[in-house]
Amino acid sequence: MHVKITGTGSYVPKIIKKNADFLDVEFYNEKKQRFPNSNEIIIKKFKAITGIEERRYLVPELKSSDMGLFASEKAIEDAKINKENLDYIIVAENFGDVKTGSNQSDFLPSIGSRIKHGLKIENPNCVAYDIIFGCPGWIQSMIQAYIYIKSGEAQKCLVVGTETLSRIVDPNDRDSMIYADGAGACIVEASNEKGGILSYASQTHTLKEAYYLFFGNSNNPNLDQNIGYIKMYGRKIYEFALKNVPLAMKEALEKSGVAITDIKKILIHQANEKMDEAIVERFYKLFDREMPENIMPMSISKFGNSSVATIPTLIDLILHQNFENHEINKGDIVLMASVGAGMNINAIVYQF
């Protein structure tokens, strides 16, 4: 028995936030001091490092669970399944539903329960829940679905990644320009057809790395210092990712028995364009090879860092011919990988 993706869906928010929209923002550093450089210089450097030109924000009247529902409806329709036959709905998210104008997380009920409610599924044996695993949460949810199906516990799972990072950023922190909103979903089913998930690797590093991403107060001393925002030690994350992600990718590939030359695409979580390129280059160097051209579809320039939504959105867009210069065909082997808060790393080798 194999575990395969049979349907995909995504939701790309409508609001486009360009780099130029940050020109009038007052940016402060960690010492709560204004940066001496102009915003033109700050944004230029930001673009050179991250590759981000614009990002997508959700409209004020919608929430993360709404996006997850929209992506799920598309995935169910694409898979042509009866939603009542779903055994699990596994939702990767990190901050629950956050209303516009408030960065308070709302997890009651869970996003999984909200999506199941929105789908109007009556079957009580369809179990819905969330996992919090940082940006690698969607891949980890796929791993859980794989284990359920391989063990005979489930036949069909809905795996969702949805997040509104724009609503929990410090507006006066340069890092706020990285984050974006989005949702992606897949139907995963037991199949007699060869392929699907071939192998995986997953790790959590906490001895020194647990708080590389954390909740902290605003850099702006004039804002309420009792309110928390997403914060990160960017340099430490960069160094950590370059050292550890290629090794996890290598572990997953070796478990699969697939040759590195058979990989058609690498779908990697995208928070920093230069970091992703360096990770993939190091991965190929582990096999004494050069990184092939056009191996890594990049959405970060237009979509920013949408956390758990990045990879399922990429899959959906590519499979439905909505991603320029990239395609995935039947039989193609794809390597997916992610790194994020926790600090968590994971990878999947998948054959379409």
pLDDT of residue 243: 95
Sequence-separated (6 or more) residues with CB below 8 Å from residue 100: 60, 61, 167
pLDDT of residue 66: 98
Q: At which of 167, 193, 219 does a domain end?
A: 193
Which structure tokens are listed for 235? Answer: 């340099």
Give the total number of structural domains in the chain. 2
Are 216 and 299 within one domain? yes
Are 76 and 149 within one domain? yes
Are 204 and 334 within one domain? yes
Angle formed by the axes of helices 137-150 and 310-319, to 10°?
Answer: 70
Note whether 140 and 133 are within 8 A (CB): yes
The domain that holds 32 is classified in CATH as: 3.40.47.10
Task: Specify whether the backbone of 196 is left (phi greater than 0), alpha (psi in -120 to 50) or beta.
Answer: left
Are 48 and 185 within one domain? yes
Are 158 and 271 within one domain? no
CA distance 89 to 203: 23
CA distance 297 to 268: 8
Q: At which of 172, 193, 214 does a domain end?
A: 193
pLDDT of residue 131: 97
Are 141 and 265 within one domain? no
Task: Specify whether the backbone of 222 is left (phi greater than 0), alpha (psi in -120 to 50) or beta.
Answer: alpha
CA distances from 338 to 113, 222, 259 (A): 25, 36, 21
Note whether 241 and 233 are within 8 A (CB): no
Peptide bond into 336 cis (omega under 30): no
Are 8 and 55 within one domain? yes
CA distance 146 to 212: 29
Domain ranges, residue 328: 197-351
Are 181 and 269 within one domain? no
pLDDT of residue 321: 87
Are 189 and 201 within one domain? no
Sequence-separated (6 or more) residues with CB below 8 Å from residue 108: none
Q: Please, what are the averages of pLDDT over each run of 10 residues along the chain (352 residues)? A: 96 96 92 88 92 96 98 98 98 95 90 98 98 97 97 97 96 94 98 95 96 94 89 94 96 96 96 93 96 94 96 96 90 97 97 96
**Is this model's pTM higher than 0.85 or not?**
yes
pLDDT one-digit tens code per residue, 301-340 = 999 999 999 999 999 999 998 898 899 999 999 999 999 9
Q: Using the CB atoms, write b or e for 134-146: b if 16+ within 10 Å.
A: bbbbbbbbbbbbb
Task: Specify whether the backbone of 331 is left (phi greater than 0), alpha (psi in -120 to 50) or beta.
Answer: left
Are 132 and 203 within one domain? no
Are 288 and 188 within one domain? no
Nearest CA among 351, 346, 334 for reference residue 137: 346
pLDDT of residue 252: 97
Q: At which of 193, 221, 248 does a domain end?
A: 193
pLDDT one-digit tens code per residue, 8-57 = 999 999 999 999 999 999 999 988 989 888 899 999 999 999 999 999 99
